[in-house]
């Protein structure tokens, strides 16, 4: 049973008993207090209010192994957990909040340090950052300093919120969070990280001569560093909230041509949708065009994916790390 089905069944059982599905407050914080605080920091919308209220939930974690260890929902909840809490429990509908909308109802919070990215490790501990891209163990929690504002007495929270939003303090807490995430990332070596690394350090120099790397997404695809932002700007590339960045983005400065590499260990090949999306990105930014390569660590991994998916877009390339001398053009 999926998490959504499980919570629908639980909700319906609670409603049948004439009980309230979601309490009026979590950790002593009401939804009205959440709305007031978010209005104060210019982040108020129904989705955002409900998301922060969900992240206050002090009931047992929806990660089974975390719940067994006594951890709670508020210690770390995935996008699916948050979306289910909002859509199915809070709003009593049969559909969770749309994951694709997270850039609107979740991303603004980690960009100001109100929400932290965390990762459920093998020891059942939530560590800062998202060291493994697209992992089910990637989660979010309210940052401690922001939680203090939400839980503050009525005559104190407004002053705390005003101070919290000062630019120098915002930069400081984001720097701290970034350093914590970097430490976690350095302690976790993943197949995806290794494949991204060899894709731009081995494949690109051999088959993409003349191209320079301007962006590498060796995380969760949600944070562009200042150095990368500057490189993108110098390359004449403007990133919008709707753009889905690839694992590696390169540019040939002489021809003004882009190249995209997607390193696949679970999913994310250059399919027709991704190809069309990034072609539109290149065209919008006035580039001469864009090429594509999907990379895998092994033939076995590639075969396992393509025997079931068969989703590599025509006119793109395929490269296998264990067979590095060959670069395959995909044709129908």
Q: Note the pLDDT of residue 189.
A: 62
| Cα gap 72→119, rounded to integer Å | 14
* Successive 10-residue mean pLDDT values, the chain, 332 residues: 90 95 97 96 94 98 96 97 97 89 90 93 89 85 96 96 87 80 68 88 95 82 69 87 85 96 91 93 95 95 88 95 93 79
- Half-sphere exposure for 184 (CA within 13 Å, toward CB): 23
237 Cβ partners below 8 Å, 6+ apart?
Answer: 214, 251, 285, 287
Using alpha carbons, select from 109, 117, 5, 12 the residue that is nearest to residue 52. 109
3-state secondary structure of 214: strand
Scanning 41-166, the segments in alpha helix (DSSP H) are 46-55, 64-68, 79-84, 102-105, 107-111, 144-151, 157-164
> What is the C-alpha separation between 181 and 147, in angstroms, rounded?
20
Q: What is the per-residue pLDDT for 219? A: 57
Which is nearest to 102 in space by CA: 54, 147, 60? 54
Residue by residue, DSSP assigns 278-330 as HHHHHHHTT-SEEEEEEEES-HHHHHHHHHH---PPTT-EEEETTSTT--EEP
**pLDDT at position 132:** 77
What pLDDT was estimated at residue 264? 93
Return the closest-CA partner of residue 261 out of 249, 272, 279, 245.
Answer: 249
The C-alpha torsion from 219 through 147 and 45 to 242, rounded to 10°, is -10
**Cα–Cα dist 91/4, whole Å:** 13
pLDDT recorded at residue 266: 83
Report the alpha-carbon distance of residue 248 to residue 216 in Å, rounded. Answer: 5
Query: Residues 196, 124, 179, 139: what is their CA dihedral angle, to the nearest 10 degrees?
Result: 70
Whole-model pTM: value is 0.63
How far apart are the C-alpha atoms of 220 and 118, rounded to whole Å?
Answer: 11
Residue 258 has φ and ψ, to the nearest 5°, of -95, 160
Closest by alpha carbon to 52, among 6, 93, 112, 5? 112
> Which residues on neighbouring strands pair with residue 320, listed in sequence order?
296
Q: How much is the pLDDT for 159?
A: 95
Local structure of residue 77 (DSSP, 8 states): B
Q: CA separation (Å) from 115 to 112, 134, 144?
A: 8, 18, 9
Q: Which helix (H) or strand (E) holds 120?
A: strand 115-120
Cβ neighbours around 181 below 10 Å, total? 22
Helical axes 167-187 vs 157-164, angle rounded to 10°: 70
């Amino acid at each position: 049973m999926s998490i959504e089905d499980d919570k629908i069944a639980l909700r319906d059982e609670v409603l049948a008993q004439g009980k309230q599905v979601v309490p009026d407050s979590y950790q002593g914080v009401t939804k009205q207090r959440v709305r007031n605080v978010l209005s104060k920091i210019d982040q108020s919308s129904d989705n955002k209010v409900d998301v922060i209220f969900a992240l206050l939930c002090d009931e047992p974690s929806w990660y089974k192994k975390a719940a067994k260890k006594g951890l709670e929902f508020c210690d770390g909840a995935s996008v699916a957990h948050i979306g289910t809490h909002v859509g199915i429990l809070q709003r009593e509908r049969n559909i969770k909040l749309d994951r694709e909308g997270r850039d609107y109802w979740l991303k603004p919070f980690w960009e100001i340090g109100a929400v932290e990215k965390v990762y459920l490790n093998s020891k059942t501990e939530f560590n800062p950052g998202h060291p493994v891209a697209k992992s089910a163990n990637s989660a979010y929690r309210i940052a401690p300093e922001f939680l203090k504002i939400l839980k503050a007495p009525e005559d104190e929270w407004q002053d705390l919120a005003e101070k919290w939003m000062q630019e120098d303090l915002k930069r400081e807490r984001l720097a701290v969070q970034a350093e914590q995430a970097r430490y976690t990332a350095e302690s976790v070596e993943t197949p995806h990280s290794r494949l991204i690394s060899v894709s731009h350090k081995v494949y690109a120099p051999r088959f993409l001569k003349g191209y320079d790397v301007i962006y590498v997404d060796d995380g969760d695809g949600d944070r562009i560093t200042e150095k990368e932002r500057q490189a993108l700007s110098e390359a004449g590339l403007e990133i919008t909230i709707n753009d889905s960045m690839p694992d590696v983005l390169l540019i040939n400065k002489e021809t003004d041509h882009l190249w995209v590499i997607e390193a696949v260990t679970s999913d994310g090949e250059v399919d027709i949708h991704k190809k069309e999306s990034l072609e539109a990105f290149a065209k919008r930014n006035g580039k001469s065009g864009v090429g594509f390569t999907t990379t895998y660590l092994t033939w076995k991994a590639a075969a396992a994916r393509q025997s079931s998916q068969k989703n590599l877009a025509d006119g793109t390339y395929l490269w296998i790390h264990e067979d590095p001398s060959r670069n395959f053009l995909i044709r129908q």
